[in-house]
Each structure stands twice: as C-alpha cells, then as structure tokens.
Amino acid sequence: MNSSIAANTPYQFILWAEQCFEQANLCYGHGTDNAGDEAAYLVLRALDLSFDCDEVQLNQTLNEETRDYLAALVRCRIEQREPVAYLLGEAWFCGLPFYVDKRVLVPRSPIAELIREQFSPWAVAAGVSRILDIGTGSGCIAIASALAFPDARVDAVDISADALAVADENSRRYAVSDRLRLIRSDLYENLQEQRYDIIIANPPYVNAEELAALPAEFHHEPILGLAAGEDGLDIVRQILKQSRDHLNQTGILIVEVGNSQEALLAAFPQLPFLWLEFEYGGHGVFLLTAEQLEQDGNGVGVI
C-alpha cells in the first residue's frame, strides 16, 4: 500500500481501496467476489452510507479523522486478511444487515434467494406454520424466514452458545423474538418430537483437504462452523438420518453442502436429491421431501 493517500471523498476512497485490494491479491467470498464491490462495501458501510447513495454523498469531503479510519480499515483488510464483515461488525443477507463477529460465520448462503421466494413452488406460504433452522449462527436464515413468513414460528438451533448470543442480538434488532425460539442443541437433540413444515440446514461441510487449503480470510471464522470430517459429510449424514422424524407429512428439507455435493451423491445414491439453481450464484444446495427421506420405514441409513 502507498503511504500517501490522495483520497478525500468516499468515491475517491472506493477507487483507492479497489486499487489496493487488486494489488494485494485478496480472496473474496464473504459477500463480494471482486475488488470493486469489496471496496464499496467497506467504504460505504464504514461511513453508514447506503449502497445506492447519491453523488452528493459520494463526493462529500471527509475530515482527517474519518480518512484515517478508512485507511486503517483498508490496511487491516490487506495485512490481516480479515473479512470486511468482521471489520465493520455487519454482514448483509436477504437484503438485510446483520450484526456479526468472530463467534459466527459471515452470512453468504444462496438460501437467501429461496427465502425471498418463500420456498415456492415447493412450499405454500399459507400452509407454513413451523420452520427450523439448523446451525443458525448469526440467526440470519431464521430471522429472514420469520420475516418472510409472518404467521410462522421459527426454531433456530446451534451447538455454540456464543453463536446463539449473536443470533439473539439480531433477533431483538428485528423484533421477531416472540416468534423465534433460540435453542442450544446438537442438531435435533433438544427438540423432542417437534415437527416442521420446512427444515433448513447450512451445516459445516468443508472436508479435511479443503480445510487445510482455505485462504487466510477463512481462518478468522470459527472452525466449528466449517470442519466436517474427511469427506465433509459428518454432520450432513446425521441430518439425513434424523430429519424424517421432524418433518410434517408434506414437509421439505433444504440443506447446503457446497463443494461436498459429489461426495454426498456417492454416499447416498438411493436418494433423489433435487439440486437447486440460483440466479445470483451459489451451488450445492439440495431439497428432499419428507416422503423421499423415508427408506424402508426407518429413515435414511448411515453410510
């Protein structure tokens, strides 16, 4: 990075940060996929400006303290390889800002598109009364679902008490605590016999080889939310085995497995996975119905 910064406005800082990021060969994957968007994300939100702010705001002259603050953020992004979401304490999901810190993964799931569409055509919104979010982390999936289905009750489980504390802060921010129940649980362990119309899971699914090769940016995230054994399926196997007993008769299960898709297909060739497509990018998300999960009357066997 250049020691002297010829930037005095938000717009100039975005251009400068973009140039710095490009030269630093950063890894993107926590909300953006290029240096320009990353720079705009950092500068605009650090200044509490909206992503569609006008030219007057973009060209306002910043005071010295603010310029130093922005420069320090850019340096930290480069030198520490820290995701912008952690630097700002804010990540966006489903068009909504959520508080995040290093107790939770940075929200980035393509499942956001499904929530916006109320899981149509696989669910009828009027018939959805209970939703479960497994591995809730920041609570973004659970909260966005509660907002998308205002008449539904949502349970959100996580094994991490730290993650649930972050989810609780976000739940209070969006005033959904009356319909959102946060539960510390290892998957279904503390849910008794409750059944749901929709179960959503974004569990750990990074295999051992991928975990060892992750860029530095991902080392800031809790490993509990990433690591899933040799083939990336340690948690997904349990979800497939147990979910049938927690779905209503017409319920659906939606699970993100990312790059572990091929391993999953090889491990469960008998299951008719529907792999969902996304307009704005993303892959490795499957859907199964309650009926499809039923195998020999005993659910899915462990592989």
Asked whether residue 34 is assigned to any structural domain, the reply reads yes
Separation of CA 226 from chain center? 12
Residue 3 — pLDDT band, cuts 50, 70, 90? very low
Q: Are strands 274-275 and 90-93 parallel, antiparallel or unpaired?
A: unpaired
- Among 233, 292, 239, 282, smallest CA distance to 111 is for 282
User: Does 168 have pLDDT greater than 60?
Assistant: yes
The backbone torsions φ and ψ at residue 201, rounded to the nearest 5 degrees and listed phi first, read -135, 125
Band of the pLDDT at 27, cuts 50, 70, 90? very high
pLDDT at 73 over 60: yes
Q: Which domain holds residue 24?
A: 10-88
- Shared-domain flag, residues 201 and 115: yes
pLDDT of residue 297: 43
Taking only the tens place, the pLDDT of each residue in 220-229 is 999 999 999 9
Domain total in the chain: 2
61 and 113 fall within a common domain:
no
- Asked if pLDDT for residue 194 goes beyond 50, the answer is yes
pLDDT tens-place string over residues 226-276: 999 999 999 999 999 999 999 999 999 999 999 999 999 999 999 999 999
Does pLDDT of 295 surpass 70? no
The domain boundary residue, chosen from 64, 88, 112 = 88
Q: Mean pLDDT over residues 38-63, rounded?
A: 97
Q: How far is CA 113 from CA 55, 95, 118, 184, 252, in A?
A: 30, 10, 9, 27, 16
Is residue 151 domain-shared with residue 265, that is, in the same domain? yes
Work out the average pLDDT over 81-97. 97
| C-alpha span between 53 and 40 (Å, rounded) | 11
Whole-number Å distance between alpha carbons of 164 and 141: 13
Exposed/middle/buried for residue 36 (C-beta within 10 Å: 0-12, 13-18, 19+): middle
Whole-number mean pLDDT of the chain?
94
Same domain, 269 and 168: yes
**Does the structure show a pLDDT above 70 at 70?**
yes
- CATH number for 187: 3.40.50.150
Q: Is position 4 within any domain?
A: no
